[in-house]
């Protein structure tokens, strides 16, 4: 075999090994975040896939609470996590569900005393994986 044929085979073998490594890796989990619908992001929710940890941030002194709404694969939801501690505060919710399961969530504002979600403030939903 000539040298000019070996190089493509070596490169091809390295590419195949890299592709196999990616394919053999466990399902990638992505961390994500969502804001309320307002341009100031008055309420923000982050999701950390490792450990299934949500954080709910109240980022504006507007008199409303930041609220996480989430749904699980078993069809349950919405479940709620309220941050009624005021501007600049964060509430952490450490959940437990199986690796690879999905969770759909969105960030909203609400009135904690009445447990009322202000639907017009809800940001777009997103789906992430444990």
If pLDDT is split at 50, 70 and 90, which confidence band does 30 have?
low
Q: Which residue has the tokens 């940001």?
A: 123
- pLDDT of amino acid 6: 43
* DSSP secondary structure string for all residues of 10-48: HHHHHHHHHHHHHHHSPPP---EEEE-SSTT-SEEEEEE
- pLDDT of amino acid 99: 86
pLDDT digits 0-9 by tens, 54-106: 999 999 999 999 999 999 999 999 999 999 999 999 999 999 988 889 999 99
CB neighbours (10 Å) of residue 8? 9
pLDDT at 12 > cutoff 90: no
Mean per-residue pLDDT of the chain: 83
DSSP 28: P
pTM: 0.77
**Conformational region of residue 72, where left means phi above 0, alpha means psi within -120 to 50, and beta covers everything else:** beta
- pLDDT of amino acid 21: 35
105/60 Cα distance (integer angstroms) = 21
Percent of the chain with pLDDT over 90: 73
Mean pLDDT to the nearest integer, 104-128 = 97
SS3 21: helix
DSSP bridge pairs for 47: 32, 54
26/45 Cα distance (integer angstroms) = 26
Structure tokens at 14: 């390295």
pLDDT at 34 > cutoff 70: yes
């Amino acid at each position: 075999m000539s040298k000019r044929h070996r190089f493509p085979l070596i490169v091809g073998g390295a590419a195949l090994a890299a592709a196999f490594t990616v394919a053999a890796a466990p399902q990638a989990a992505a961390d994500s975040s969502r804001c309320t619908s307002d341009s100031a992001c008055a309420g923000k929710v982050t999701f950390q896939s490792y450990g299934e940890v949500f954080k709910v941030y109240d980022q504006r002194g507007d008199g409303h609470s930041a609220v996480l709404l989430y749904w699980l694969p078993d069809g349950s939801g919405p479940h709620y996590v309220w941050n009624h501690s005021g501007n600049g505060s964060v509430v952490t919710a450490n959940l437990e569900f199986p690796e690879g399961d999905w969770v759909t969530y969105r960030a909203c504002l609400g009135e904690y005393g009445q447990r009322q979600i202000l639907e017009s403030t809800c940001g777009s939903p997103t789906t992430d994986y444990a």
